[in-house]
Chains A and B, each alone.
Chain A
Amino acid sequence: MIQESAVRPPLVLGDKTYSQMTEDIMKPLETKPNLLWFGAFSIAALVMTMGFALIGYLFVTGTGVWGLNKTVGWAWDITNFVFWVGIGHAGTLISAVLLLFRQKWRTSINRAAEAMTIFAVMCAGIFPVIHTGRPWLAFWMLPLPNVHGSLWVNFNSPLLWDVFAISTYLTVSLVFWYIGLIPDIATVRDRAEGLRKKIYGALAFGWNGSARTWARYEVVCLILAGLSTPLVLSVHTIVSFDFATSVIPGWHTTIFPPYFVAGAIFSGFAMVHTLMILTRSIFKLEEYVTMYHIELMNIVIIITGSVVGLAYGTEFFIAWYSGVEYEQYAFLNRAFGPFAWAYWTMITCNVITPQLFWFNSIRKSAVATFIISIFVNIGMWFERFVIIVTSLHRDYLPSSWAMYSPTFVEIGIFIGTFGLFFTLFLLFAKTLPVIALHEIKTVLKTSGEKYKQAAASRVEKGSAGESPVMPEISLARKPQQETEI
């Protein structure tokens, strides 16, 4: 076993054993949910129902019920789409990129973050579909043979790339998540009785913990992580192409792909905070999702928040440096035009508030982190609103300049997607383990509090002359002959 530095804070607090970890993480699944859960669930379900009712109203009456006009043809819908897709990115980042980098702290949060990814992408998918105006013809976006010739889809269009990117992203994330869940569902199965055992038994795919399966399993997870890493970068890159390949001043910039990806990770980590800080206190998981986890995520937020801030500055500089009047006006209009309030909300929430995490006391406080995460969520929504609406509302022809304000339908549908998101998340937290049990068990011996303390005291005793490294011989590399009797 490789020893970990004693200075590094533990990832699992308290004196835990493997069975104790199983008990702790299975507890929310096996006990009746408390009043808080029921309250949250009813509110979320109610909000979700309202959202779907408004979508129904939209279908019956048409997109005229939205506040869009001839000049501003994209507004809340696409803002919400980019917002939700961006949220999803943190989940994949935690589960895939941190797996490739062998970061042990991901084990406490990856399951919930991946679930968040899937639910967020589901919410995102709603918007382009309803924005098509005739959602029952949404299958026209797929390259299917048809009676018109066949008239195929246009593979030169970034909007079509988006169809492929988002559906691939949803599918691969779902598969990755489920593969990670199988061993844990088996744990639920082996603790359950009756019908419950049957259901989880069917979902566990007959998992039996065999070393041969584990060996393949690890390889599959590694390859899926390797695939998901470029995938997640490609998804928001392609989303940014929806804008960057157009000729609208304010959109037509080469900085968009990295800027969107950084923003996506930034907003995604904020949403992980919003969810995990609530989840850990509702389900009493503070020993697994520790302040150290929160602090590490806060560091990611500072970095990506600073990248986003730098991107805002670069955009302004390039607008001036390019010498293109339209481009310059688009940016001046953003900061000082009629939508200046949105722009400065964005700057405050995205550039200024995350910088508070440089203070030790704020970075290590759950309450402060929660509050700032809400600010970042708001700020990142406004970023997309600012990019989309302020670039469109004053176009080349001043006679067609217009303002945009949402109607209750747009607002209601957006709030409704939050209902959908939280309903799904609450159901997930009640039916499946929110922490990847089989993964967090692997870090217990190296990063559990008790084990770290024991290792540290061994080092102190051994300082008289013994090697501070645990006298454990690695068995893995011992030459062996294949023999059998």
Chain B
Amino acid sequence: MSKNFLLGVYDDEQPVLKAVNELRIKGIRVYDVYSPFAIHGMDDAMGIKRTRLTVAAFIYGVIGCTLALSMMIYMNIFDWPINIGGKPAFMGPDFIPVTFELTVLITALGMVGTFLYVSRLAPGIEGNLIDPRVTNDRFIIAVEIKNEEIRRKTEDILKSYGSLEIRERVTEK
């Protein structure tokens, strides 16, 4: 099914933020906004739900911590205990550095991996670049057009915030 998009092109982030806000107040769903950098407050304006990557990071951290501790306890206590002057094999503080490092390592790698996966980012991926200028100095609001009423309303709002151009784009999906 093909989808119709209306694209509003801007050269500044402030009108984009205002236009997105206005669109949502008027009840029009903003499909996406493309920008050369992260616009502060855009997630709230667009109504993007808070990402759960923080939860994922915590889970990876717990996994890393457990893995590190169980590895060391298995190797140095159960499988091959080392007798160091008759001291107990479980030397708690000695295990802290490696536990910490592996927790950080697995959290970082796991979280970044998850981020790349959910954001569809991977080496060699074509990507769905809407306009090559969005990585330079242009900001684009994309609104999916389902009927004439939305088109008219969207066009008015996009224009009222000073869009440089308004384009239509049809994608096959």
Binding site for B on A (CB under 8 A): 1, 17-19, 22, 143, 149-156, 158, 160-161, 164-165, 168, 171-172, 175-176, 179, 182-183, 186-187, 189-191, 201-220, 223-224, 227, 230-231, 234, 238, 241, 438-439, 441-442, 445, 472, 474-478, 480, 482-485
Contact = CB atoms under 8 A, between A and B. Distances in A.
Interface string B114-145: 01101111111111111011111100000000
B53 A164 contact: no
Contacts of A160: 98
A234 B42 contact: no
B4 interface: no
B33 to A, nearest CB: 4
B164 interface: no
A206 B32 CA distance: 16
B45 interface: yes
Interface in B65-111: 71-72, 75-76, 79-80, 82, 84, 91, 94-95, 97-98, 100-102, 104-105, 107-109, 111
Contact of A155 (B24, B46, B72, B132): B72
Nearest to A484: B29
B35 interface: yes
Contact of B127 (A150, A151, A187, A206): A206
A478 B37 CA distance: 23
Given A190-B136, A219-B51, A211 B101 contact: no
B80 A151 contact: yes
B36 A223 contact: no
A485 B21 CA distance: 16
A182 B136 contact: no
* Interface size bracket, B side: 35 or more
A476 B44 contact: yes
Given A152-B76, A154-B82, A223-B111, A215 B27 contact: no
B119 to A, nearest CB: 5
B53 A165 contact: no
Given A179-B112, A475-B18, A485-B150, A206 B104 contact: no
B38 interface: yes
Which of B38, B39, B91, B102 has the most C-beta atoms of chain A within 10 angstroms of its own C-beta? B38
A117 to B, nearest CB: 15
A175 B112 contact: yes
A220 B38 contact: no
A12 to B, nearest CB: 14
A205 B80 contact: no
B40 interface: yes
B168 interface: no
A208 B127 contact: yes
Contact of A214 (B42, B100, B137): B42
Interface string B3-43: 00000000101100110010011011100111111111111
Contacts of B1: none
A179 B112 CA distance: 8
A318 B82 CA distance: 34
B130 to A, nearest CB: 7
B108 A172 contact: yes
20 contacts: A19-B137, A152-B76, A152-B79, A156-B76, A168-B101, A175-B109, A176-B108, A206-B124, A212-B48, A216-B53, A223-B107, A224-B112, A227-B107, A230-B104, A438-B38, A475-B41, A475-B45, A476-B44, A480-B24, A482-B47
Contacts of B115: 179, 216-217, 220
A171 B105 contact: yes
Contact of B121 (A154, A171, A205, A218): A205
Given A211-B42, A217-B115, A152 B80 contact: yes
A165 B97 contact: yes
B4 to A, nearest CB: 15
A207 B134 CA distance: 11
B54 interface: yes
B83 to A, nearest CB: 11
A214 B71 CA distance: 37
Contact of B118 (A17, A151, A216, A485): A216
Given A201-B126, A230-B104, 20 more contacts: A18-B137, A155-B72, A156-B84, A168-B102, A171-B105, A172-B108, A179-B112, A203-B123, A206-B128, A208-B128, A208-B130, A210-B32, A217-B38, A219-B54, A220-B53, A220-B115, A223-B53, A224-B111, A234-B97, A485-B150
